[in-house]
Amino acid sequence: MTKRDLIMRISDETGLIQEDVKAVLQKSLDYIVDALEKNESVEFRNFGVFEVKDRKERVGRNPNLPEHDVIIPARRIVKFKPGKVMKKRIMGG
């Protein structure tokens, strides 16, 4: 599903104009990114939690040239942990 698919589906089900749905959805996504940029976690009850984690620098190897070590730099990544309801619906338990 793309953002466009989501906008169209919400618009069809609610009767709202697609431009209004798009504006609200985009603003929501912008606020989520802003919070993650500030190193804050974003939690949606029963859906899941987005949080930023720091990855340490590490040594990797190219499988084609295993004798050459490659330094993989430290970086920040976004992790997602699904909530109970999502886990239950997707994993069928």
Chain centre distance of CA 46: 15
What's the pTM value of the predicted model, to 2 decimals?
Answer: 0.79
Distance CA 59, CA 32 (A): 32
pLDDT of residue 91: 87
pLDDT tens across 30-88, in order?
999 999 999 999 999 989 999 999 999 999 988 888 888 889 999 999 999 999 999 99
Distance CA 28, CA 34 (A): 10
* pLDDT of 24 strictly over 70: yes
Distance CA 83, CA 91 (A): 12
Domain range list for the chain: 1-38, 41-93
How does strand 58-62 pair with strand 75-82?
A: unpaired
CATH no. of 41-93: 4.10.520.10
